[in-house]
Amino acid sequence: MKILVTGANGQLGRELREVLEAEHPGITTYVSRNELDITDRAAVEQYLEQGDFSHIINCAAYTAVDRAEEEKLECSSVNIDGVTNLARKADELGIKIVHISTDYVFDGHSYRPYTEGDKVNPLSVYGSTKRKGETALLGLAPDSVIIRTGWLYSPYGHNFVKTILRLSRSESSLRVVCDQIGTPTYAADLARAIVTIVFSRQWTSGIINFSNEGVCSWYDFAVAIQRIAGITTCPVRPVHSSDYPTAAQRPPYAVLDKSRFWATYSTPIPHWEESLAKCIARINSNEQ
């Protein structure tokens, strides 16, 4: 087995490196955007031809959800064309792909967690390009696995947990939306799920949902971050999305049904608060 991780300097890529090197050391090549730009078709083809890889884990993506409303071309070029480049060559060479997609492919008007087969209707440029990337991948390389996830955070990069910790130190109070519901996903848990999928005896292609267990609003998430971090000096106030306009529209309800993951891999998934505590402990120990 020889694995290629693309987009390796992002928050998921960096967590994957830690899990893979701890559990299966020395079999993975990690490439950042500088080393392999997935939008460069010739570079992708040449890299894959020379690499003798059995698997690609694609962590490369355009992820700036609000900026994407202005930068449609840049967003499509990574999330659709880049995925197409990987898919075309990987299928030709018999390389299996694990790709990551998002709960933002849904419009969030459901009243129960979304299954893999539910109707998609993205509300944003980001969600729409991620959906087109899914379709392109399954069309060109049908043996691929696509993991839909949401609300990713880790000690690395930019994410909600780090933003709340930072703002709680500089602001006197915070306003956080209480009418968008989802499940925070610790990137380290997603990385472990990916490793489970890649090293499982049964390779089950198609779309599969993964997030942590449980459900909350962004407001509940912010309150939990402060409680676990011991922050008492900066109250969090709940506000409605209409009071906090953003360039991109987000689904009001983005909870994913994980029955397929449970049934296929029988691996326990931690509750989001348990994993949040682990992540905050890591952030604190990195700061010391």
Ligand X SMILES: NC(=O)c1ccc[n+]([C@@H]2O[C@H](COP(=O)([O-])OP(=O)(O)OC[C@H]3O[C@@H](n4cnc5c(N)ncnc54)[C@H](OP(=O)(O)O)[C@@H]3O)[C@@H](O)[C@H]2O)c1
**Alpha helices in the chain, H assignment, sequence order:** 11-23, 41-51, 72-76, 83-93, 125-140, 160-170, 187-199, 218-229, 259-265, 272-287
**Exactly one of 3, 5, 57, 100 binds ligand X (CB under 6 A); which one?**
100
**Exactly one of 3, 4, 5, 12 binds ligand X (CB under 6 A); which one?**
12
Scanning residues 115 to 144, which ones bind ligand X (CB under 6 A)? 130
Residue 140 C-beta: closest distance to ligand X, Å: 17
Give yes or no: 126 in active site.
Answer: yes
Q: Considering only CA atoms, give the Rg of the chain.
A: 19
The residue type found at 15 is: E
Residue 104 C-beta: closest distance to ligand X, Å: 7
In this structure, what token pair is assigned to residue 56? 């690609």
**272 lines the binding site for ligand X (CB under 6 A):** no
154/237 with CB nearer ligand X: 154
Residue 77 C-beta: closest distance to ligand X, Å: 7
Site string for ligand X, 44-83 (x = CB under 6 A): ---------------xxxxx--------------x---x-
**Exactly one of 28, 102, 129, 144 binds ligand X (CB under 6 A); which one?**
102
CA of 81: how far to CAs of 41, 74, 102, 168, 261, in Å? 9, 10, 17, 39, 28
* Residue closest to ligand X when measured from CB atoms: 10
Q: State the DSSP code for 95.
A: -
| CB 98, CB 58: distance < 8 Å | yes
Residue 38 C-beta: closest distance to ligand X, Å: 4
Q: Which of 47, 126, 156, 186 is catalytic?
A: 126
Nearest alpha-carbon partner for 87 in 45, 129, 128, 124? 45
**Exactly one of 3, 38, 44, 236 binds ligand X (CB under 6 A); which one?**
38
Nearest alpha-carbon partner for 158 in 5, 9, 8, 11? 11
Residues 6+ apart with CB under 8 A from 158: none
Residue 81 C-beta: closest distance to ligand X, Å: 9
Judged by the rule CB under 6 A, the positions of this chain that interact with ligand X are 6-7, 9-12, 33, 37-39, 59-63, 78, 82, 100, 102, 130, 149-152, 157
Catalytic residues: 126
